[in-house]
Structure 1
Amino acid sequence: MQDFLLFAAVGFAAQIVDGALGMAFGVISSTLLLSLGTPPAVASASVHAAKVFTGTASGLSHLTHGNVRWSLFWPLALGGVIGGVVGGVFLTSVDGDQIKPWVLGWLALMGVIILVRSTREIRLRHVPIRGAAPLGLVGGFLDALGGGGWGPTVTTTLVSAGEPPRQAVGTGNAAEAVVAAAVSTTFIVALATGHWRDLEDLRQYGTSVAGLVTGGVIAAPLAARIARVLPVQPFSWLIGVLILLLAAIQLVGPLLGR
């Protein structure tokens, strides 16, 4: 029961941040699981199982508040599903840690770009649809590898390109639920076909996943409302700072552990 309440609290806090700023649920949850000694593939599978529920709740909440841009949702979701499936297969076969520094470098660059733009007058514009599917493809692949790459990649890129922040967050979160379902299905198929043999490890984290789901679902409506009322410029600044902090934590953590 104590573990359930701990992960419920983590899920609630992570979803408040994720639902309001469009990122961090996967990163926070994955980091906690990895710190407990969870294998990377098991951590990713656990977080994606949770995100099917939290992402759906978040997406519905954002839809209620008018934060979802449907013309952007469909290509993002389609590209994300393809990238997520490829990433899930890759993760169950190969260690993805080797590309992690490159991903973090890209995220840090996006954070700097957003911070620079947030100090100026922000010119909002809808992101062209033609770039949404490739963006979803990259975001889905990175998300499957680390359990938390969708929001930092997709939401950050959309905001840096000028998409209104609340629509970037709402559309990204809604598409993420579809991607999480695809990635979770990939892990299930890998287990069923014998391609992945960590079933016993996965069962050990059922309480953790249940806690993350419970806390995240409770927080989703509140987070969507926060995203709707936050002013554009401070909203963009918060996203930029969060990206840099997450990148720094992920880069410095392994160095401190040596």
Structure 2
Amino acid sequence: MLELSALDPSALLPFILIGFAAQLVDGALGMAFGVICNTLLVAVMGVPPATASARVHVVEVFTTGVSGISHLIHRNIEWGLFFRLLVPGIIGGVTGAYLLSSIDGAVVKPIVLTYLILVGVWLLIRGLLYPPKIRKPKVIAPLGLVGGFLDAAGGGGWGPVVTSNLLVQGAEPRKVVGTVNSVEFFLTLAVSATFIWHLGFADIAGATLGLLIGGVIAAPMGAFMAKRFSPKLMLILVGVVLTLTSAFGLWRALI
């Protein structure tokens, strides 16, 4: 049952701000909503990791829906890439949700985070030293499968894994961000439905409601920013965000 205290504006404000900031970054750069929310909820707000992950996935159904519509309006979606990511991503996500209980995430997480740090540094260097050359990405379906699996099994990772790898392959940053964000709606919907089927449905209240309000408000702004950032600037920003968030996650995983 939803308690009135869960609707206290002063109690909701920190979570609204977290959701707003996380979705603003995610909508503009194609990654980091789950990473930022989970990190701030657990490390700063003291929310248990399992609770934080469950709430973020529920919220992402709404934020990715609004973000996807916004990217559609701003013509940031490449439909060929969209459909090549969609089915493998959903398959990987549902599989990851089913196998979550039998996987030791503590063992896999440092390896994935180390890899993401290296990718982030490479993107940063590429953005600073080389004018980006736009090329058609070749490795797409396997990337969607792995990204979807890691997103469900590891509590996040679709944006960092898929967006960063497509950028490394030379895809146009604006189209990558819009397409990856749009596919994420269907991925998150499938993953959330799988979790709800097995674990039950928790009321949307407290932190979840705050994240939802902040994320939905910020979603259209992120799509607007993605359309107007230069490819070089987007590569630099993605490199910085990916490196910092992954490094912080690795540090927490190892201590």
Q: Which amino acid aligns with 2:136?
A: H
In the alignment of these two chains, the number of paired residues is 244
Q: Which runs of 5+ in 1 are unaligned?
A: 193-198
- Residue type of the alignment partner of 2:149: F
Letter in 2 for 1:242: V
Name the residue aligned to 1:108. Answer: 117
Shift of 1:71: 0.6
1:240 aligns with 2:248: no
RMSD (Å) for aligned C-alpha atoms: 1.6
Q: After superposing the two structures, state which structure 1 stretch, 117-126 or 88-97, moved more.
A: 88-97
Output one character per residue of 1:183-235: Cα deviation in whole Å (capped at 9) or x when no partner. 1011011125xxxxxx7xx55x7321111111111111111111111111111
1:217-256 mapped onto 2 (5 Å cutoff): 217-255=216-254
Q: Return the alpha-carbon distance in structure 1 between the equivalents of residues 100 and 49 of structure 2.
A: 11
TM-score by length of 2: 0.90
Quote the offset at 1:134 in angstroms. Answer: 1.1
Q: Provide the rounded CA distance (Å) in 2 between the counterparts of 1:75 and 1:232.
A: 23
Deviations 1:128-179 (A, max 9, x none): 3xx3221111111111123220110000011111111111100000001111
How is 1:79-94 mapped onto 2 (pairs within 5 angstroms)? 79-94=88-103
Identity %: 48
1:95 to 101, 104, 128: 104
- The residue number in structure 1 matching 2:137 is 127
CA distance in 1, matches of 2:241, 2:54: 24
Q: How does 1:1-258 map to 2 (within 5 A)?
A: 1=8, 2-35=10-43, 36-40=46-50, 42-118=51-127, 119-128=129-138, 131-191=139-199, 202-203=202-203, 206-255=205-254, 258=255
After TM superposition, the structure 1 stretch with the greater mean CA deviation from structure 2, 107-116 or 21-30, is 107-116
Q: Deviations over 1:94-124 (max 9, x none)?
A: 4312100111111112112212321112111
Give the C-alpha shift of residue 127 in structure 1.
1.6
Distance 1:135 1:241 in 2: 22
User: What amino acid maps onto 2:112 in structure 1?
Assistant: V
Partners of 1:44 and 1:145 within 8 A in 2: no
Q: Secondary structure at the match of 1:77?
A: helix
